[in-house]
Amino acid sequence: MTINIKNYRKKVLGCWMGKNIGGTLGEPDEWKRQINNYEFYIQDLKGEPMPNDDLDIQLLWLIALEEKGINIDAHTLSEYWINYVVPHWAEYGTAKINMRAGLQPPVSGSFNNTYKDSCGSFIRSEIWACIAPGCPRIAAQYAYEDAIIDHGGGEGVYAEVFCASLESAAFIISDIRKLIEIGLSYIPETCATAQAVKTAIESYDSKKTWREARDIILEKYRGRAVPCVEHLMSKEDVDKGFVDGILGFDVPSNIGILIIGLLYGEGDFGKTLCTAVNCGEDTDCTAATAGSIFGIMHGFDAIPEKWIEPIGHGIKTVTLNLGDLGYFGNMVPADINNLTGRTERIARQVIMRKNLPVIIDDNNPTDFSDLNESALCAGKFREELFDNFNSVVHRFDAFDVAVNHGDTPKISCNEPKSVIIKVKNKYRMAANINFRIFAPEEISVSPSSGSLYVNYPGTEGQNVNEIELNITAEKLNPGANRLVAEFTINGRPSIMHVPIVLIN
């Protein structure tokens, strides 16, 4: 597949412009449970967008890619999160507390996290699509590593994977129904996010109005209105019984609203974004994501100038620690043109080094004549992606080692704790691997040493083996208690050290 460089740049620029427009449009009524009546911006913008946390963390991920290379994972991203993400609200704050206690993704996103099913991750999916255009599996893998930081084990992960894979495919497909189908193929059919998407589609296909579709979504998938006080809910919604809901269970309904905007917008930019905002809830997030998807599908030139002129091309941040990102934040892209150029440079690296079946070409026209649309769907990759959904995964050259803490990383004195370590062989040679567990004197582990055999890939699952550790503590430190699993292979110099962190 060939994407002409001008087409690629227009799609990326359209993505970032659509993101800024939607985030600005929806900002005034964010998190209000009500039907709105937007037709255009209601703020006096004076040529600048509103600060947009939906875009902020993606700027940070771009910097991480530039500094650390394209093979970043949740471990690298979590270090940037700790250093540069300022807010302490909701999932952002819970993840920071957990990481500062020593917990790693996905446990940082699941432990004591009321908001793991909320909206903080799908809003930062576009960067992964833009650096892996037309390659939704790669975008989905990046999105997964991102989302587990603050939504581990939750619907928030499914939502970001859904959006990133859809957005990546949008570089080469402009049929929204096909794109939704591709996005759904990457997440479990039974998850609430997938069900909300299907509900939105069924409402549209059965000729219900967008208002009726919105009410059906809230009847089935609503979380608690934030902060569940009367002035943030319309009397109409109170009368409909939309007062209650599960605190933090926000992403299924908002993904449903995103799909309502995309379907009922029927290819019109303003109608798409305003429909999303008019459904209420997390209005800046739904409109911003709808805007970015529209921008990727149709390109920058399809966005009417009347939406661009009031906010310009600038970027305004609200959640980043600018004092440490260069000289007063000069590492952060100043506008969407600079962001687009830097995104392109990373995309070229990803395409080349991961040997992706797409070319960004400076001379030849866009050509998708060899496109196999079915190959864009997840297939067996979905199972692989979520294989270690609740485990901390450490990747080495030839092996992946996954640590599963069970339902919780907590441990108490004199109460047995089980931890399962799974070793996966990624290389073409079988191996006998020796292991040894290092623990403080007051903590006993059984078995504390031994060996396991892992065959080479392609041997019907025999390339994976696991150890169940039974851990008992006579005495514990407050907070984090750390053990280390060491893996070695006789006759080979490599040593793999894997931390096991348990919380008292």
Residue-wise pLDDT for 187-209, tens only, equals 999 999 999 999 999 999 999 99
Per-chain mean pLDDT for the chain: 95
**Which of 75, 76, 81, 83 minimizes the C-alpha distance to 95?**
81
DSSP-derived pairing of the beta strands 399-404 and 391-395 = antiparallel
Greater pLDDT, 231 or 475: 475
Give the per-residue pLDDT at 374: 87
Give the per-residue pLDDT at 371: 86
Average pLDDT over residues 228-249: 86
Spans of all domains in the chain:
2-378, 391-503
Average pLDDT over residues 246-272: 97
Question: pLDDT tens digits, residue range 46-103?
Answer: 999 998 888 999 999 999 999 999 999 999 999 999 999 998 989 999 999 999 999 9
- Which residue is listed with tokens 């059965």? 206
Percentage of residues in the chain having pLDDT higher than 90: 88
Give the per-residue pLDDT at 205: 98
Q: What are 364's two structure tokens?
A: 């030849």
Other CB atoms within 10 Å distance of the CB of residue 246: 12
Question: pLDDT tens digits, residue range 94-142?
Answer: 999 999 999 999 999 999 999 999 999 999 999 999 999 999 999 999 9
Greater pLDDT, 253 or 370: 253
Give the per-residue pLDDT at 230: 59
Give the per-residue pLDDT at 461: 77
Q: Tell me: pLDDT of 227 over 60.
A: no
Q: How far apart are CA 284 and CA 281, in angstroms?
A: 9
**Which of 192, 208, 330, 326 minimizes the C-alpha distance to 248?**
192
State the first-to-last Cα distance of the chain, in angstroms, to the nearest integer: 53
**Spatial strand order in the sheet of 431-438:** 449-454, 431-438, 480-488, 495-503
Give the per-residue pLDDT at 350: 97
Q: Which CATH class is domain 391-503?
A: mainly beta
Alpha-carbon torsion (403, 406, 409, 413), positive or negative: negative
CA atoms lying within 13 Å on the CB side of residue 86: 11
If pLDDT is split at 50, 70 and 90, which confidence band does 229 have?
A: low
**Which of 218, 215, 224, 205 minimizes the C-alpha distance to 264?**
205
Question: pLDDT tens digits, residue range 347-400?
Answer: 999 999 999 999 898 888 888 888 888 899 999 999 999 999 999 999 999 999
Give the per-residue pLDDT at 417: 96
Concatenating the DSSP letter of every residue in 200-237 gives HHHHHHTT--HHHHHHHHHHHH-BPPSS--GGGB-HHH
Question: pLDDT tens digits, residue range 482-504?
Answer: 999 999 999 999 899 999 999 99
What is the separation of C-alpha 198 from the centre of its chain, rounded to a whole number of angstroms? 20
If pLDDT is split at 50, 70 and 90, which confidence band does 327 have?
A: confident
Give the per-residue pLDDT at 226: 66
Q: Which CATH architecture has domain 2-378?
A: Orthogonal Bundle (1.10)
